Amino acid sequence: MTPDPLPSAHQLLAFYLEAGVDCALAEEPANRLHDPEVAPKEAAKNPASPSLEQARPVRPAFAPAPAMPAEPMPSPDAAIASAREAARTAPSLEALRSLLETFDGCALKSTATRLVFADGNPKARIMFVGEAPGREEDIEGLPFVGRSGKLLDRMIAAIGLDRNAAYIANVIPWRPPGNRTPTPLETQICLPFIQRQIELVDPDILVTLGNPSTQTLLGTRDGIMKTRGRWLNYDTGTRSIRAMATFHPAYLLRSPSYKRMAWQDLRAIAKALAQTTP
Ligand code: URA
């Protein structure tokens, strides 16, 4: 049998990226297979085995070891119940942020670099909610600071505003590893926090960006093509907030032909804001 050809450096990097290994831990590469703690023991155990140089690594040499949560994770039901209880009792946005900093019910916290709570003005009349932070957001601790964030800034400018007059958050406040889609359980656990965040900001208009945040917050199973551009209601339990879904900026970057529709949505939002007395 002919052995598979060794992958090229480009293929390996593409594989690492796909697996979520998207940043280097150090400036210089480190060959962990030459780690004296490991190599001599392995070689002594089986002298007939191929040299460590020839052996294929079972784990990428510079992939970070998976972070282990310090405590065992609570059961899904217990995590959702404690998220609800914690979020319900937060009297302010600062308190909510502190609660999230100490909340250990969501496994995403252990793989993310930091909490990505919000950006913008907590007194804003308009609030935008995306899905989950990506790599740049995870590094900076602020939502929408990467490429899609730059487009979101232009979308906000199309309404005649900037980040000082808008509030921006995500349904999920921790980056899922490798930007994978959050699981339904992770979404359920994080939901009470974003619901409380919306309640505390209490905007005149809520804009959900893309399918996941629209379906999660506005309780619809319809796709974004159907939901976008229509006025819906978001019920906080004590008040009804006007809500509109539009395309996620990351989607618009991939499919620029939908920008025309997104800009129609933004015009409708600008008009509604102008008609709502501050
Ligand atoms: N995409 C999101 O949904 N949120 C961010 O913060 C960045 C990218």
What does the domain layout of the chain look like in residue ranges? 76-275
The yes-or-no verdict on residue 49 having pLDDT over 60 is no
Q: What is the pLDDT of residue 236?
A: 96
Q: Is the CB of 197 under 6 A from ligand 1?
A: no
Q: What is the pLDDT of residue 26?
A: 54
The yes-or-no verdict on residue 140 having pLDDT over 80 is yes
Distance 43 CA to ligand 1 centre (A): 47
Beta carbons within 10 angstroms of residue 232's beta carbon: 18
Q: State how beta strands 119-120 and 167-170 pair.
A: antiparallel
- For the chain, the distance separating the N- and C-terminal CA atoms, rounded to the nearest angstrom, is 74
Facing residues of 234 across strands? 241
The yes-or-no verdict on residue 268 having pLDDT over 50 is yes
Q: Is the CB of 250 under 6 A from ligand 1?
A: yes
Can you tell me the distance from the alpha carbon of 147 to that of 134, in angstroms, rounded to the nearest whole number? 10
Q: What fold does the segment set 76-275 form as a domain?
A: Uracil-DNA Glycosylase, subunit E (3.40.470)
The stretch 262-278 carries a mean pLDDT of 93
What are the phi and psi torsion angles at 100 (to 5°)?
-65, -35
Q: What is the pLDDT of residues 177-233, one digit of tens each?
A: 999 999 999 999 999 999 999 999 999 999 999 999 999 999 999 999 999 999 999
The stretch 46-61 carries a mean pLDDT of 40
Q: Which residue has the higher pLDDT, 3 or 236?
A: 236
Q: What is the pLDDT of residue 242?
A: 98
Q: What angle do CA 238, 244, 245 make, to 5 degrees?
A: 120
The ligand 1 atom at the shortest distance from the C-alpha of residue 170 is: 4
Distance 16 CA to ligand 1 centre (A): 21
Q: What is the pLDDT of residue 273?
A: 97
Q: What is the pLDDT of residues 101-132, one digit of tens each?
A: 999 999 999 999 999 999 999 999 999 999 99
The yes-or-no verdict on residue 235 having pLDDT over 70 is yes
Q: What is the pLDDT of residue 5?
A: 73
Q: Are the C-beta atoms of residues 254 and 224 closer than 8 Å to each other?
A: no
Q: Are the C-beta atoms of residues 224 and 259 closer than 8 Å to each other?
A: no
Can you tell me the distance from the alpha carbon of 192 to that of 86, in angstroms, rounded to the nearest whole number? 9
Q: Compute CA 141 distance to the chain's CA centroid, rounded to the nearest angstrom.
A: 11
Q: What is the pLDDT of residue 8?
A: 74
In the DSSP assignment, the letter for residue 228 is B
Q: Is the CB of 117 under 6 A from ligand 1?
A: no
Q: What is the pLDDT of residue 54?
A: 40
Radius of gyration of the chain (CA): 23
Structure tokens at 17: 């990226």
Structure tokens at 159: 């309404």
The ligand 1 atom at the shortest distance from the C-alpha of residue 148 is: 8
Sheet containing 231-235: order of strands: 119-120, 167-170, 126-130, 205-209, 240-246, 231-235
- Confidence class for position 18, pLDDT limits 50, 70, 90: low
Q: Are the C-beta atoms of residues 137 and 144 closer than 8 Å to each other?
A: yes
